[in-house]
Structure formats: structure tokens, C-alpha cells
Amino acid sequence: MATPLDAVGLQVWRGALLMCDFILHNEDVFKSHSVLELGGGVGLVSIIAGAVGSSKVYCTDVGDRLLELCRENVLENQHMCKPTCEEIVEVKELDWLGVGLPEVCKTEKRVKSPSEWSTTDIEDVENNVDILLAADIAYDNQLTDGFFKSVFDLMTRGRPKTLYVALERRYNFTLEDLDVTCKSYDHFRKCLCDLEGEYVYECTEGLAVSGSSSQAKSSLWSKVIEGQSEDKGQKATPMKCLKIMSERVSTDFPCYSDYTRVKELELWKVSSTFLP
């Protein structure tokens, strides 16, 4: 509670340590896979993902100070990855409250800073990234909303993806409730429940053209209302169907870091699948 909101990403929280333990205990899940971390902070989780053999890791966050610190940490720990951490882990800016993953014109574009996305980066995320990571992201409702918006945007791009989220339930006394509550966690769970389900995307000729805005594409996905699933096949235009499911992951794996694994720490897995 003593940490200002703009300094949250400058610290390592227990959820990140739990995520690191999970990665270290499940190296085969990450080996040779492409990863994108949301809210990477100082870069610890991304560095560990690179160290266990991920082929590419995009560590994303927002703020020049934080991104520069993260880039320094990647450089200092480059010996942990092969060929080097600097080559495996790329630090990029991704603002959940902005437009989402930046749209890059297919024409030639000069990248002004290492944190900017190039056309090649965007194409790599869409074609190769299949694992998303996030730790300690549920502490502000507006940011949580933006996080799930970004997750949905990423899951409706390219190949199916799996998201792992580590977080800690934090209880606070509020005058509004006159009780100890966990509102940030409750809001996270509500957003997670809202994300689950089946979505359809109508592939009309005007919308499916190459190079069209994926921001526009994401907004055209609509959730299938219960009882209407059987009507999908009666559409005159081709339909794509995306299914998103979540489950809580057991945290009984070994503790490789020096921290207290309190019972409030949780790990969630969210999977997306494109249905025929």
C-alpha cells in the first residue's frame, strides 16, 4: 500500500517469483516456444523464460524509465541465455490503456527507439508467439480492464495462445464496506469469467483482406450467446470460432526462490483454441 502506482513495476513482487518457479519446473512447456510477457516490470520473468530455452521473448511494459531498467537487466543477465539474453529477450512498449499492440504500416518504417515495434516484430508476434505471461497485474481495476482487452486482442491474432497469470490476493479494510475485502482480485476474477466462452468472427470479403487493421478485427469478434451456437453454420459468410477457457493451476511445485509462498498466491491458465 506504500508503493505509488507509477513505481509498482520497479519492484519484484511474489507473483513474479511464483511464475519463475513455475517456468523453472516446467522447462519443456517453454523450450523452443515464443513468449510475450505483459507487464514485465524489471524483466525477471522474461529473463527466466529465455534462460530455460524459449526461442524468443517479448518483455512488454510502459514508461521510459521502466523499459530502460528492464533493458539493463536483460543485458546484465545475458549469460543466462543461449546465444545471449540480449538476443532472445526484446523489451518493447505496450500500453494496455492505449490502442493495444501497435499497428505498423506494411510500408517501410524507421524505428526510432528499441522499445518501438517494427513490422517484423508484429508479424513475429502474430505468426509465432503462442505463450503469454503476466504476473502481479491485478491491483487497479482500470489497468485490469486494459490487461484483459490486450489479452483478447492478442488471442484473436495469429495462432492459438496460452496465457499464464500469477497473482496474489491482497486484502484491505475499506470504509465503503466496513470490512476486509479483496476487490482487485474480485474484479480480476469477474474479468476472467467474462473472457471465457466462444467467439465468432465473420470473415466477409471486405474485412478479411490482408493488411487490414487487427484492432478493427478484434472489435468484430462477438461472443456466442448460449443457445445460439447451432445457428453459426447457417450463416451465408464463412465464420471463424474462437474458444477461450481458464483453469487454476496447482502451485505445489518446488520453490526455487527465497520468498514465502503464501496461500493467497494463485496461478491461472487461460487457453484459446480456434474451432472448425
Q: What is the mean pLDDT of each run of 10 residues along the chain (276 residues)?
A: 60 94 98 97 96 96 94 93 84 90 62 87 94 94 95 92 95 58 90 95 49 49 68 58 97 95 96 92
Residues 118, 215: Cα–Cα separation, whole Å: 17
Separation of alpha carbons 182 and 155, rounded Å: 28
Q: What pLDDT was estimated at residue 2? A: 58
What is the residue whose three cell numbers read 469477474? Answer: 190
Answer for the pair 15, 23: CB distance below 8 angstroms, yes or no.
no
Structure confidence at residue 215 (pLDDT): 44
Euclidean distance between CA atoms 101 and 119, whole angstroms: 12
Which pTM was predicted?
A: 0.86
Q: b/e for 49-66, b at 16 or more Cβ within 10 A? A: bbbbebebbbbbbeeeeb
Distance in angstroms (rounded) separating the CA atoms of residues 72 and 116: 17
- Distance (Å, rounded) from C-alpha 16 to C-alpha 72? 18
> C-alpha angle with apex 57: 56 to 63, nearest 5 degrees?
145
Return the pLDDT at 85.
73
**Cβ contact 195:151 at 8 Å:** yes
Cis peptide before 83 (omega within 30 of 0): yes
What pLDDT does residue 6 have?
60
Give the model's pLDDT for residue 214.
Answer: 43
pLDDT at residue 129, rounded to an integer: 97
Q: Which of 166, 199, 220 is nearest to 38 (CA)?
A: 166
Identify the pLDDT of residue 9. Answer: 62
